[in-house]
Structure formats: C-alpha cells, structure tokens
Amino acid sequence: CRDRPKLSHAEKFPFLGEELSLRFVPTPLNKVFFSVHAPYLNMHIPEKNWNQWTEDDLKVHWPQLMRFYRQEAEKIFRERLAIWTYQIGLHPQNIQFKNQKTRWGSCSTKGNLNFNWRLIGAPLFVIDYIIVHEICHLKFMNHSGQFWNLVANYQPDYPGAEKWLRKNHHALEFMREHP
C-alpha cells in the first residue's frame, strides 16, 4: 500500500487515471483552492502567504483537497450517468456519493444508486464500468447471466476495468481520510 501523499511540491496524485504532479500557484484571492491542468494538480495559494507557508501550514488544507476531489467526482459522474442512463434506457430514483470502505457502487431495491467518489482517481473506462454495472442492477438485482450480458452489451471490456480496480485500488486509498 502506498504512503499517503503530502501537500508538497511535485507529489503525485491520481486523477482520472493520470498521476498529476502537485504544483503551487499564487493567487490574488484570499483562499486556498485546487484545480486540474494536466499534468498538474494546482494548489492555489494566496499571494500574501506565498513565501511564508511551510509543509505543516499546507497540511491543514487537506480537507479542501478532498472536497475538490469529491466535487469533481460528482460533476463527472453526473455527466457520465446522463450519457449511460440515456443509452441504456434505465433511470435511477436517486443518486448519492459516498466514501465507502469496500464498495465502488451499489444499487438499492428502491432504485437508488450510490457511488464511491474516490473512483475519481481511476481512468474514465473504470468509472464508466461502475456506472453501467449499477445502472444494469436497476433491471437485474443480481449477478445472473442476464445481468452480465447486459453489462457486456455496453461495456464489452468490463473485465479490464475489474482488473484495473483489483490492481490499483490501493492508489485511491489516500482519499479515505486526511492525515
């Protein structure tokens, strides 16, 4: 299991399957915020604090990084959900984003879909697979042959996505809690 990254220059953070290097960017605003401009994860630091902050000062902004990741995950998942629900023709009652320890997604018998926002670190084909998997549960609340045929109809390389998750899930663990 990889060590939890620190908010230090050039530290690597997974985002949509890429390893982004942390880069500090001065901002005239009086708040810290994050943005992505591949190959960088930008941490915008107020100009007034630019030469004063230490790594310990930066550490207190870890919750803001997690909020950024969660907001980006919700935005991207909602966009992808709109595409896949339209293509498949199945629509959930409700969608929630969670930070589950062992699940990437789930579907309730009431038609509610839950997604683990930490998947934002995974490649888009993995996110799409989890979305399609859970949408297909709206029709088949099991893992029958019919269910897997429906999944394969929309995600023929779903075994590749499952393999990626088995091999790389540890890279997403740092988002579970802050240091």
Residue-wise pLDDT for 93-110, tens only, equals 999 999 888 899 999 999
Angle formed at CA 51 by CA 49 and CA 53, multiple of 5 degrees: 60
**Long-range contacts, 67-74 (Cβ 8 Å, 24+):** 68/33, 68/34, 68/35, 69/15, 69/117, 69/118, 69/120, 69/121, 69/175, 70/97, 70/99, 70/117, 70/120, 72/15, 72/36, 72/120, 73/97, 73/115, 73/117, 73/118, 73/119, 73/120, 74/117
Could you tell me if residue 17 is left (phi over 0), alpha (psi between -120 and 50 degrees) or otherwise beta? left
Percent of the chain with pLDDT over 90: 77
- Please give the share of the chain, as a percent, with pLDDT higher than 70: 96
Task: Judge whether residue 179 has pLDDT over 50.
Answer: no
pTM: 0.90
172 or 109: which leads in pLDDT? 109
- Output DSSP code: residue 3: P
In the DSSP assignment, the letter for residue 110 is: T
- 150: which 2 tokens? 């429906």
Burial 49-69 (b: 16+ CB within 10 A, else e): eeeebeeeebeebbebbbebb
pLDDT on residue 14: 94
Nearest to 93 by CA among 85, 105, 84, 83: 85
pLDDT in tens, 73-91: 999 999 999 999 999 999 9
- Confidence bin at 58 (pLDDT 50/70/90): confident
